[in-house]
Every structure is written in C-alpha cells, then in structure tokens.
A and B are shown apart, each in its own frame.
Chain A
Amino acid sequence: MCLAVPMQITEIHDSQAIIAAGGVQRCISLLLLPEAQVGDYGLVHAGFAIQKLDEAEAQETLRLWSELLAAEEETDADGRR
C-alpha cells in the first residue's frame, strides 16, 4: 500500500506533471510537491509526487557501499597472502 516509485518529471503544466520511468509515461499531481522542477526524480504514490529524490544523498549512499566493497576485498586479499 505504501509503495512509491521513483520517476522522472519531464513536463510540468500548473500543478500537474508528466513523468516517465522505464518507457512508461503518466500524468500525476504536484499538489503535494509544489517545488518540483522538470528533470527532478520524484517518488510517486497513488498519482501524486510525495517526495523529491536527492541525488547527492543517493550518490553518497552508493559511495559508502563501494567503499565497503573495496575495504572487504582488500581484507580478503590480505587474508589470502
């Protein structure tokens, strides 16, 4: 029920937006995310954008994970030596 899908905003007309993800286009409401701009990724739930996705935060999470990978690969390599 609380499913929300990340989709990119491609057009804005007043409080409505056209969004796209994986070749699918939909018209949604921006009434709950009035600050959204074309190009933003929004979380879409029940026909409304409910939150903007923050690319810098997403990159930071991915960076921490790649560090985790690198660090443990190093440990594995040390272990084999």
Chain B
Amino acid sequence: MKYLEEFRDGAVAQRLAGRIQAYAGRPVNLMEVCGTHTVAIFRHGIRQLLPPNVRMLSGPGCPVCVTANADLDKAIALAQMPGVILTTFGDMLKVPGSYSFAVGFETTAPTIAASVAEAQRQGLGNYSIVSVHKLVPPALRALLDSGELRIDGLLLPGHVSAIIGSAPYQFIARDYGIPCVIAGFEPLDVLQGIALLLAQITAGEARVEIQYRRALPPQGNPAALAQMHAVFQPGDAEWRGLGAIPASGLRLRDDYAAYDAERRLAIQTPPPKEQRGCRCGEVLRGVIAPPECALFGQACTPENPLGPCMVSFEGTCAAWYNYGGA
C-alpha cells in the first residue's frame, strides 16, 4: 500500500463516473471548498465527466486568495524593513532575524504553532510571525448566511478535516440541511465524494459523511489541535470576498506576544488599494465563474496576475486558465 496509485485506478474511475452520470434528479450546485480539490478536479478532468444537471462551484478555500490586501501590504512592508528576512515556509527557525508570514487554514496553523512553541522552548529571540491564519467552518457559515447562491452539497476539505475532525461541520447539515462529504484528493476520492453527495441528495438526506476514511479519524488530530489552541486564540479576520468574519482567524495568545511580529514592530502600511475590475471576491464566493470577469485571460494571466485567484496555483482563476476551463 503506497496510498497513491491504488486511488487512481481508471476502471474504478469509470464506474464511479457512471454513478454520477446516472443522477437523474433536479439540477444541483455542489461546492468544493478547498483549493487543493479545485486543482484535483481540473487536473483529472472531472468537470468534463459531470452530467449537465451537476455543477461544481469553487469556494473560498485557497488561503492565498482569501488573504485581504491589507494583510498582504503588511507582509510587503515587513519585507522592506532593514534587517528583516521574511519567509512563508521552510527552515525558518535557523534563519537569523526571521519573520514568518503565516497564512493557511487549520491544516497549516498547527505547524506554525509548533514552530512558535519550539522557538519559545529554545529561547530564540529572532523569530516571529504575522498570523493571518483562517478557520474554515466560520467562513462556510458566513457564505451560507449570505444566501447569495443555492448550494446543494459541500465537498469538504480532507486535510483541514484531518486536523479538526468532522464535528465542526455538523451545523451545516443540521441547521442548513445541506449534505456534506469530507473527501480525499486522489481522483477516485473526489469522484466518490461527488457520488456520495448525489446519493444523499437523491435520498433527501443531509449529514456529514467521511469519504477520506484512511486519513480521517472522526476526532481529527487532537495533539495538533491542542498545539494550535495552546499558541493561538480565535480572532476576527478579514477575508477577501467575504469581508470581516467574527472569530474566523487565529491570533497569538498573550503568552506568545514576543513572537508576534505585529506587536514587536511598528509595521507601516499604505492605505489598501483594490485592483480595478478584479472580481476575485465574487469568484471566491462561487457567484461567478472566472471567464465572466473581463480581466480573465486578457489582462490577468498566471504570468501577469492582477488578482490573487490567478496568483496562486490553487486559485480558481489559475485552475481555469491552466486546465482550460471546461
């Protein structure tokens, strides 16, 4: 068992696709929340396998894309300060005078938390972070509360869930009546995830189902969660496209204030600028598809991106551009 090729078998893919194509119900919008799922769906040509009554929308699950301009400006200002080395990942504990711009969801936050706790344990004085970590469940609640579009099923992120487990999503099925499947990232995982969502819709059910069982005990990873909560506390966060969402970010606890670059340094940022004509906000909410933006593929390409959804490889616009849209 290598946990890779076994989950890419073409014959099984055909059968799973056949189940999806056999869906004969009303037209449905399914949303993949995670940018890594977006890339998997495009790379494996899964959109082309879907029948006309099943539409996949991409959600706000690319951390680079949802980072607000004001936060990006902070990172740029920090990088321009004398003596500062700014990293986003890598072997930052060994770098002198190092600051880390910490973006990411629950998958990534525990790793940064571990680095901060380790810096404190070793008594390092030259490491600090700008935490713009974000939490997935509060963003999903905000998205659903906006009522902007009808979502009939959610394909939930497997690796965020490998940390937080399945319990934090229960409100979606219970309060909003929307079927949820936590899926893995291999092509068969995604296909089965979609098939399971359609089976729930057909049966008139709404529950949180785990497709990615090999990586996901229902309780997630308690050690990683404990590390995350020991170092961070929830705080309000600004999301591109979704605006300010209460308790949807992570800030360093006071015990770790010495590792908070924003509390250590006076970071001067210019007033935030928005790119004229950029519709990333609507793309992130699933309201428009990238080609509906006048900049897409014309003024805005992966070589010369104007909006963050084209900057990140996992951005919805970049995925449409690189894999030819469907």
The answer on a CB contact under 8 Å between B4 and A32 is no
The answer on a CB contact under 8 Å between A47 and B18 is no
Determine the chain A residues whose CB is within 8 A of the CB of B6 once the complex forms. 58, 62
Could you mark each residue 10-34 of chain A with 1 if its beta carbon is under 8 Å from any beta carbon of chain B, else 0? 0000000000010000000101111
The answer on a CB contact under 8 Å between B105 and A46 is no
Determine the chain B residues whose CB is within 8 A of the CB of A77 once the complex forms. none
The answer on a CB contact under 8 Å between A2 and B105 is yes
Q: Which of B154-162, B168-176, B201-209, B246-254 contacts A (4 or more CB under 8 A)?
A: B154-162
Classify chain A: how many residues form its interface, as a range: 20 to 34
Knowing A45-B107, A54-B217, A58-B6 touch, does A2 contact B160 (C-beta < 8 A)? Answer: yes
By secondary structure, the A interface counts as mixed
A55-79 with Cβ < 8 A to chain B: 55, 57-62, 65-66, 68-69, 72
By secondary structure, the B interface counts as helix
How far, in whole Å, are A46 and B16 apart by their CA atoms in the complex? 32
B207-243 with Cβ < 8 A to chain A: 213-217, 221, 223-224, 227
The answer on a CB contact under 8 Å between B36 and A32 is no
Beta-carbon nearest neighbor of A8 in chain B: B2
Counting chain A CB atoms within 10 Å of each CB, the highest count among B3, B213, B214, B223 belongs to B214
A residues in contact (CB < 8 Å) with B: 1-4, 6, 21, 29, 31-35, 41, 43, 45-48, 50-51, 53-55, 57-62, 65-66, 68-69, 72
B residues in contact (CB < 8 Å) with A: 1-4, 6, 9, 11-12, 15-16, 18, 34-36, 61-64, 89, 103-105, 107-108, 110-111, 114, 118, 157, 159-160, 162-163, 185, 188, 192, 213-217, 221, 223-224, 227, 312, 314
